[in-house]
């Protein structure tokens, strides 16, 4: 008799927590934050789920293959319901994964207590130039982070602070709700409900932070770069949502019998399924870590390039099929398209693609042996 999936309830909870289409339209404004949806994630214990059981979680960030598959499904489910919520939840998971990977037992226990108390974590690593976050020899913080998703609501951001010798130390800064956030510069056409902004850390000290790991652990391969699979899982959810809006429109307007419409939807379905397979394999390789770091990162980079292109293709196919109606504010496709177009813009896409190609060129193996059949 097959055993039940211990994580299936979490996947269902993620789908339920993110399923609020009316909220999406209501929050489609600058400076908005999906407070009710985050509260549902908290109530469903999804904020604590990445922690191991001995710290009060469900082990979603564990190295067990079942945990990796479940985390991939949870992130996709949240992204399918709301890309802004998916972005915030992925940042929370990313921060906890880094704490669990590099933090000492005392830091893990201290921060796990904050997770259980309902604090929202995030990773803020983008900086103004000049003016980035710095930590001096006396333990004083100065400078800022920009493009900080959840600014004012993420009360436990994981950041990197530049030391006097140029190296960087990971910190989780202990912030009060609403503190230090400036949302005035985030005027993007999509992903408006992420409360993205600038946060200034001037005047804080190490008494207001918890150090995580050793100096320069943040960029240690393969964990940082391979961890990109998590935002790919959220993007997959957004791509699925756009494809569903495409399919639903054809069904509702009785245009699904047109062969040209069928061809466009068929190509969109191929793109969605390609993404699903690539993201699943990328997550399995990254979670297992049984291959050498360069091989893992190369595959995740390959998936990055493929998912970005697939997302752009699905957008174009849906907009062409739906036509002008899909650009009306009251059509489901309109906001979904803007959110996905913005969220697909991740750092260094060209470097990801060329990095994967460079790995293949330098490898001793032929193409069909570059990555194992199963991770």
Structure tokens at 164: 């006097």
Grouping H, G, I as helix, E, B as strand and the rest as coil, residue 209 is strand
Q: Quote the Cα angle for 48-50-56, to 5°.
A: 50
**Domain spans of the chain, in order of start:** 8-212, 223-369
Please state, in angstroms and rounded to a whole number, the distance separating the CA atoms of residues 136 and 236. Answer: 41
Give 19's pLDDT tier (boundaries 50, 70, 90).
confident
**What is the per-residue pLDDT for 165?**
95
Q: What pLDDT is recorded for position 374?
A: 57
Q: Which residue has the tokens 């979904």?
A: 336
Look at residue 2 and tell me whether its pLDDT is greater than 50.
no
CB 281, CB 222: distance < 8 Å: no
User: 337-350: per-residue pLDDT in tens?
Assistant: 999 999 999 999 99
Pick from 219, 351, 236, 229: nearest CA to 281: 229
pLDDT at 375: 43
Per-residue model confidence as pLDDT tens digits over 103-161:
999 999 999 999 999 999 999 999 998 989 999 999 999 999 999 999 999 999 999 99
**pLDDT higher than threshold 80 for residue 24:** no
Burial class (CB within 10 angstroms; exposed 0-12, middle 13-18, buried 19+) of 373: exposed
The continuous run of DSSP H or E covering 134 comes out as strand 134-135
DSSP class of residue 190? S
What are the beta bridge partners of residue 197?
148
pLDDT in the model for residue 1: 40
Query: pLDDT tens digit string along 355-370?
Result: 999 999 999 999 999 9
> Quick count: other Cβ atoms within 10 Å of Cβ 296?
25
Chain centroid to CA 337: 18
DSSP states of 135-157: E-TTSBEE-EEEEETTTTT-SEE
- Count other Cβ atoms within 10 Å, centred on residue 47: 24
Q: Cα–Cα distance between 260 and 317 in angstroms, integer?
A: 11
Q: Are 18 and 78 in contact (CB under 8 A)?
A: yes
What pLDDT sits at residue 4? 59
Provide CATH code, domain 8-212.
Answer: 2.40.110.10
What top-level class would CATH report for the domain 223-369?
A: mainly alpha
Least confident of 60-64, 148-152, 226-230, 269-273: 60-64
**Which pair of structure tokens corresponds to residue 179?**
């503190």
pLDDT at 67: 94
Give one DSSP letter per residue of 15-55, joined into a string. Answer: HHHH--HHHHHHT-STT---HHHHHHHHHTTTTTTTS-GGG
Are β-strands 121-124 and 156-162 bridged in parallel, bridged antiparallel, or unpaired?
parallel
């Amino acid at each position: 008799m097959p055993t039940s999936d211990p994580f299936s309830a979490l996947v269902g909870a993620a789908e339920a927590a993110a399923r609020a289409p009316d909220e999406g339209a209501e929050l489609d404004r600058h400076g908005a934050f999906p407070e009710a949806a985050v509260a549902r994630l908290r109530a469903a214990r999804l904020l604590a789920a990445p922690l191991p059981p001995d710290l009060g979680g469900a082990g979603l960030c564990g190295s067990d293959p079942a945990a990796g598959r479940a985390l991939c499904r949870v992130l996709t489910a949240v992204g399918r319901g709301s890309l802004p919520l998916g972005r915030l939840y992925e940042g929370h998971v990313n921060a906890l994964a880094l704490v669990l990977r590099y933090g000492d037992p005392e830091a893990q226990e201290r921060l796990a207590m904050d997770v259980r108390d309902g604090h929202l974590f995030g990773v803020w690593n983008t900086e103004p130039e000049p003016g980035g976050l710095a930590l001096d020899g006396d333990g004083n913080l100065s400078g800022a982070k920009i493009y900080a998703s959840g600014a004012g609501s993420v009360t436990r951001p994981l950041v990197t602070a530049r030391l006097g010798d140029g190296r960087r130390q990971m910190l989780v800064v202990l912030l009060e709700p609403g503190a230090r956030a400036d949302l005035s510069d985030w005027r993007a056409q999509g992903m408006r409900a992420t409360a993205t902004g600038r946060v200034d850390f001037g005047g804080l000290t190490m008494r207001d932070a918890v150090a995580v790991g050793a100096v320069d652990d943040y960029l240690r391969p393969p964990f940082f770069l391979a961890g990109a699979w998590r935002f790919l899982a959220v993007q997959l959810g957004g791509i699925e949502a756009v494809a569903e809006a495409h399919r639903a429109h054809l069904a509702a307007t009785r245009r699904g019998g047109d062969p040209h419409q069928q061809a466009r939807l068929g190509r969109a379905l191929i793109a969605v399924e390609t993404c699903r397979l690539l993201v699943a394999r990328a997550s399995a390789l990254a979670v297992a870590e049984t291959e050498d770091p360069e091989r893992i990162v190369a595959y995740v980079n390959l998936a990055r390039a493929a998912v970005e292109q697939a997302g752009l293709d699905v957008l174009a196919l849906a907009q062409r099929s739906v036509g002008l109606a899909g650009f009306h504010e009251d059509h489901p496709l309109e906001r979904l398209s803007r959110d996905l177009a913005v969220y697909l813009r991740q750092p260094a896409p060209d470097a990801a693609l060329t990095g994967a190609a460079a790995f293949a060129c330098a490898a001793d193996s032929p193409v069909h042996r570059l990555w194992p059949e199963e991770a």
